[in-house]
């Protein structure tokens, strides 16, 4: 079974491509997170965790979900993390997480997808994004075949400073930057409420037809990137900046 967490669709897409090869079922973590419940799941096939990379590490909310989940059947787990550039030393945290959950670590795969972290970085041009996706598909398909054969993923290539980024920079980044105070809504807002419905943390509430953030943000960018009116900004940094959403099939 493929377990995925995805704010703007990159990791959902990765999960879908792998599932097209393995035939596995997909399980979206977001409804569980919104409901505040620990899932009870069974799979005879290996578990595959597909998620984005947040500051060179698996998102803390995804880690928490996995620790709380009751997974029966297979004891093997693979990790597939999407990123805009680098996963740093995220594989070390993933391996430790697998051990904590009583699962056999079968490897870690970094997959470059179009950048979605508009709070800090620019989204690629459409043609560039299409090329990134085209290059990602065969990587994901090979991963699916490896999983079918119950083989471990090849070891991750060492990344300069990766361990430092994941172990030291990540907690500092979360502490200083993963906040929602800079989110604001413009006059373009139509009051559709999709941001409230799509927030995995249930951190957005509509008040007088406008979204308000409640302080429990994980910076998944679902609200700002998936707003149909592009009415959400993050301070001044995102003004005029392209958004990214991988549309569902």
SS3 (DSSP) at 9: coil
Alpha helices in the chain (DSSP H): 10-22, 30-35, 60-68, 90-100, 126-148, 162-164, 170-177, 194-198, 222-226
pLDDT at position 91 = 95
Please work out, in degrees rounded to the nearest 5, the angle formed at the alpha carbon of residue 51 by the alpha carbons of 151 and 165: 95
User: 143 and 109 in contact (C-beta within 8 Å)?
Assistant: yes
Question: Would you give per-residue pLDDT tens digits along the chain (249 residues)?
Answer: 999 999 999 999 999 999 999 999 999 999 999 999 999 999 999 999 999 999 999 999 999 999 999 999 999 999 999 999 899 999 999 999 999 999 999 999 999 999 999 999 999 999 999 999 999 999 999 999 999 999 999 998 877 788 888 989 899 999 999 999 999 999 999 999 999 999 999 999 999 999 999 999 999 999 999 999 999 999 999 999 999 999 886
Query: What confidence score (pLDDT) does residue 158 get?
Result: 77
Contact (CB, 8 A) for 157 and 200: no
Query: Within the chain, how many helices (H) and strands (E) appear?
Result: 9, 11
Domains in the chain with CATH codes: 2-173 (3.40.50.360), 179-234 (3.30.70.20)
- Quick one: how far is CA 156 from the chain centroid? 19
> What's the whole-model pTM score?
0.95
At 248 the pLDDT is 85
CB of 54 closer than 8 Å to CB of 30: no
At residue 161, the pLDDT reads 87
Instruction: Report which of 219, 232, 215, 245 is spatially closest to residue 55, judged by C-alpha positions.
Output: 219
Q: What are the beta bridge partners of residue 47? A: 77
Please state, in angstroms and rounded to a whole number, the distance separating the CA atoms of residues 164 and 248. Answer: 35
- Please tell me the predicted confidence (pLDDT) of residue 162: 87
Estimate to the nearest angstrom the gap between the alpha carbon of 237 and the chain centroid.
22
């Amino acid at each position: 079974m493929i377990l995925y967490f995805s704010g703007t669709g990159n990791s959902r897409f990765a999960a879908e491509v792998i599932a097209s090869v393995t035939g596995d079922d997909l399980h979206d973590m977001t409804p569980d997170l919104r409901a505040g419940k620990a899932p009870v799941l069974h799979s005879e096939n290996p578990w595959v965790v597909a998620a984005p990379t947040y500051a060179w590490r698996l998102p803390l909310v995804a880690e928490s979900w996995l620790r709380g989940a009751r997974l029966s059947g297979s004891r093997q787990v693979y990790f597939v993390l999407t990123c805009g550039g680098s996963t740093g030393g995220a594989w070390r945290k993933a391996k430790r997480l697998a051990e904590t959950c009583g699962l056999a670590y079968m490897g870690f795969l970094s997959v470059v997808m179009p950048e979605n972290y508009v709070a800090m970085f620019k989204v690629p041009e459409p043609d560039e994004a299409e090329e990134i996706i085209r290059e990602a598909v065969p990587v994901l398909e090979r991963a699916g075949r490896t999983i079918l054969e119950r083989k471990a993923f090849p070891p991750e290539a060492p990344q300069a400073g990766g361990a430092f980024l994941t172990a030291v920079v990540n907690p500092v980044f979360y502490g200083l930057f993963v906040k929602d105070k800079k989110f604001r809504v413009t006059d373009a807002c139509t009051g559709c409420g999709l941001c409230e419905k799509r927030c995995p943390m249930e951190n957005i509430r509509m008040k007088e037809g406008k979204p308000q953030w409640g302080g429990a943000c994980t910076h998944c960018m679902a609200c700002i990137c998936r707003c149909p009116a592009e009415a959400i900004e993050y301070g001044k940094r995102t003004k005029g900046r392209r958004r990214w959403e991988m549309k569902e099939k």
